[in-house]
Chains A and B, each alone.
Chain A
Amino acid sequence: SQQGEEDPQALSIQEGENATMNCSYKTSINNLQWYRQNSGRGLVHLILIRSNEREKHSGRLRVTLDTSKKSSSLLITASRAADTASYFCATVKAAGNKLTFGGGTRVLVKP
């Protein structure tokens, strides 16, 4: 079963705009991770945020985590055509060892 649910399922934006996607989950977590996947290939790790953290940045990426609402958001600023991909959130439960993925958000950045 899928722990996380991403919203929206699909997103289309112009190059230079910001893209925001959200992830909700159901149980207490140790950490939440965001991954990118291009055209059905392998997953590329973007950011890991732990349950005691509220915000993390990596380049043009900003991730927030609200454990009270069991939700996270991924913001991509100044998007580029190369950001076109599917983005997945994945959670690790407290004392857990596996990633539980959501269904993903498909992002299309138009040049």
Chain B
Amino acid sequence: DAGVTQSPTHLIKTRGQHVTLRCSPISGHKSVSWYQQVLGQGPQFIFQYYEKEERGRGNFPDRFSARQFPNYSSELNVNALLLGDSALYLCASRQGVTGTDTQYFGPGTRLTVL
């Protein structure tokens, strides 16, 4: 079975631009979460979606938004990019909405903002 997939693998943008990152969860998983990992730090929670509804939001500005589609795939959008948005963006999926089961991560999208 395929694991969590993310696209693109790498992305280079300039300040002020907009970016869309994509994620496909493991088959049968209805929950998708997004995390930001700045170099040298642990991942930080951005969003969780379950059954197309937002179920959690981390401490990120409104420039960050996400959505989940009927097939449970998800997009993360970041507007008005700043240099500080340069990071590895990780998508994770699990079966249920609560944190009681294992969350599986994709390989990430490396975003560089120049």
Contact B99 A96 (CB under 8 A): yes
Known: A102-B42, A104-B42. A45 touches B99 (CB 8 A): no
Q: Is A79 an interface residue (CB 8 A)?
A: no
Which B33-88 residues have a C-beta within 8 angstroms of A?
Answer: 33, 35, 39, 41-45, 48, 55-56, 58-59, 88
Cα separation A102 to B106 with both chains bound (whole Å): 19
* Binary per-residue interface labels of chain A (68-111) against chain B in the complex, 1 for a CB within 8 Å, 0 otherwise: 00000000000000000000101011011111111110000000
* Binary per-residue interface labels of chain A (24-50) against chain B in the complex, 1 for a CB within 8 Å, 0 otherwise: 000000110101000011111100101
Q: Is A2 an interface residue (CB 8 A)?
A: yes
Residues in B with CB closer than 8 Å to A90 are 42-43
Contact B108 A99 (CB under 8 A): no
Q: Closest approach, in angstroms, between the C-beta of A95 and any C-beta of chain B?
A: 8
Residues in A with CB closer than 8 Å to B103 are 33, 45, 99
Known: A31-B99, A42-B90, A92-B100. A103 touches B41 (CB 8 A): yes
What residue of chain A has the Cβ atom nearest to residue B97's Cβ?
A97
Size bracket, chain B contacts: 20 to 34
Contact A98 B33 (CB under 8 A): yes
Q: Is B102 an interface residue (CB 8 A)?
A: yes
Cα separation A41 to B55 with both chains bound (whole Å): 26
Interface centre among A43, A93, A96, A104 (most CB of B within 10 A): A43
What residue of chain B has the Cβ atom nearest to residue A3's Cβ?
B42
Known: A40-B88, A98-B56. A2 touches B42 (CB 8 A): yes
Q: Closest approach, in angstroms, between the C-beta of A88 and any C-beta of chain B?
A: 5
Known: A35-B105, A42-B107, A43-B90. A97 touches B42 (CB 8 A): no
Residues in A with CB closer than 8 Å to B108 are 40-42
Instruction: Sort A-B residue pairs by CB-CB distance and give the 7 closest, nearest first.
Output: A92-B99, A101-B42, A42-B107, A43-B105, A98-B45, A97-B99, A42-B105
B interface residues (Cβ-Cβ under 8 A, vs A)? 4, 33, 35, 39, 41-45, 48, 55-56, 58-59, 88, 90, 92, 97-108, 110
